[in-house]
Amino acid sequence: MVGEDHTSAQLEAKPLTPLLPEQLTKVRLEELATKIIEATWKNGLSQWSWGEGVYLLAEVRFHELFHNEIPKRIVEWYDTEDIFTSGHINNVAPGAAAARLQNQRLLINSSLTSKLVNWVSKRESVTLNSNGAIEHWPGSVWADTCYMLGTFYLNLAQLTKDLELVKFIGRQLTSHYAILQNPKNHLFAHGSYKGETLWNFWGRGNAWMALSSVEFLDACEALNIRTDDYETVKRALRAQLDSLMQLLPDYGIWDVLVDGQSENRGILETSATAGIGAAMVRASRHVTDISNDLLNIGSRACAAALTYVDDSGILTRTSAGTVLQIVPFGYSVIRNDRLQLWGQGLALNAITALLEPSRNIVGLESLK
């Protein structure tokens, strides 16, 4: 491309030597999780939005894994007066952990989840693409939507046993695939604008899509349902993860754009790697023909991402909140100056995936 800007790529620091999966014992992973959790609460969860939603779902699941009592501060956060808000699809993300708390009869304000459902259901609340995909912004379909809405509806479905919620997310996933999944490399674009897909294969967007697909398959398994879209989701996920495995560098961190695009080559982004790695490990139970590869490469990616958790418990090299970019260079902004809630949440996703006792993690014998 004429006029490419390679400045950021040329000035990028060399990657750290990655941790190896076998170095992440159960004790070390729990210590890392504790650091991440304490750093996050010290920084604060200030609003009802997507960052808080991504983080809280991950922390609740971490505690559930060990049958820990859910910390009082999580329940109090949800019961705080005036924190709830709606008005954008990102605002439904905190509903996912709320549904899990409600399932444990911990949530005092149980109307939160119904308020979110009511908001999404109103015709004036969201706009739709011509194929039925919910738009993240009017005229714009984003990968982010599938995670922010999907995790809420799928966790709520497991609370209420409402299978229509699962079917709805299956349709949303396939509608998003039709717009965002590239037919040649099977990676996902971040989004489309006014009917044109912008083929920037943003790492965290691929993490959102991979995790959303796994969440859907897990919910189908938990509720013993096979929707019309089940096999479509499984095929799309397999194709995406197979491509991503081929693109993982030796040091274990995908670039901020995962396809090696020249303006962003070597610009590492850890939250995407943590999310994609977690999705691979979790997907291995569903995509059985490549399960060993998913376990091996997914656990390696998780370990490499966790290398970037600093002594204070912050996942460094996490990109800022990122709107849809017209040119690839727009994705090159990495934040090391402050904690990013989505980075903390995706790091916990990686830890929980590695610790899940039902997973046969290759090379993590110490966790068995």
Average pLDDT over residues 122-126: 92
Distance (Å, whole) CA 225 – CA 210: 20
12 vs 29 pLDDT, higher one: 29
Angle at 73 between CA 68 and CA 77, to 5 degrees: 125
Average pLDDT over residues 244-255: 97
Average pLDDT over residues 26-54: 97
Distance (Å, whole) CA 55 – CA 66: 18
How high is the pLDDT of residue 233? 98
Average pLDDT over residues 210-233: 98
User: Does residue 357 carry a pLDDT above 70?
Assistant: no
Average pLDDT over residues 1-8: 72
User: Does residue 368 carry a pLDDT above 60?
Assistant: no
How high is the pLDDT of residue 1? 52
CATH code that applies to domain 10-363: 1.50.10.10
Domain ranges of the chain: 10-363
Measured CA to CA in angstroms, residue 95 lies from 31, 147, 196, 201, 273 at distances of 27, 12, 31, 28, 24
User: Does residue 367 carry a pLDDT above 90?
Assistant: no
> How many Å separate Cα 88 from the centre of its chain?
18
Average pLDDT over residues 18-30: 95
HEC secondary structure over 92-152: HCCHHHHHHHHHCCCCCCCHHHHHHHHHHHCCCCCCECCCCCECCECCECECHHHHHHHHH
Angle at 296 between CA 19 and CA 20, to 5 degrees: 10
* Per-residue confidence band for 81, with pLDDT thresholds at 50, 70 and 90: confident
To the nearest whole percent, how much of the chain has pLDDT over 70?
A: 96
Least confident span in 33-37, 70-74, 157-161, 326-330:
326-330
* Per-residue confidence band for 62, with pLDDT thresholds at 50, 70 and 90: very high
User: Does residue 361 carry a pLDDT above 80?
Assistant: no
Q: What is the pLDDT of residues 173-194, one digit of tens each?
A: 999 999 999 999 999 999 999 9
Average confidence score pLDDT of the chain: 93
* Per-residue confidence band for 335, with pLDDT thresholds at 50, 70 and 90: confident
Q: Which residues contact 74 (CB under 8 A, 6 or more apart)?
A: 56, 59, 60, 97, 101
Measured CA to CA in angstroms, residue 78 lies from 85, 111, 239 at distances of 12, 11, 38
Contact 73, 41 (CB under 8 A): yes
Torsion of CA 303, 306, 311, 313, to 10 degrees: -140
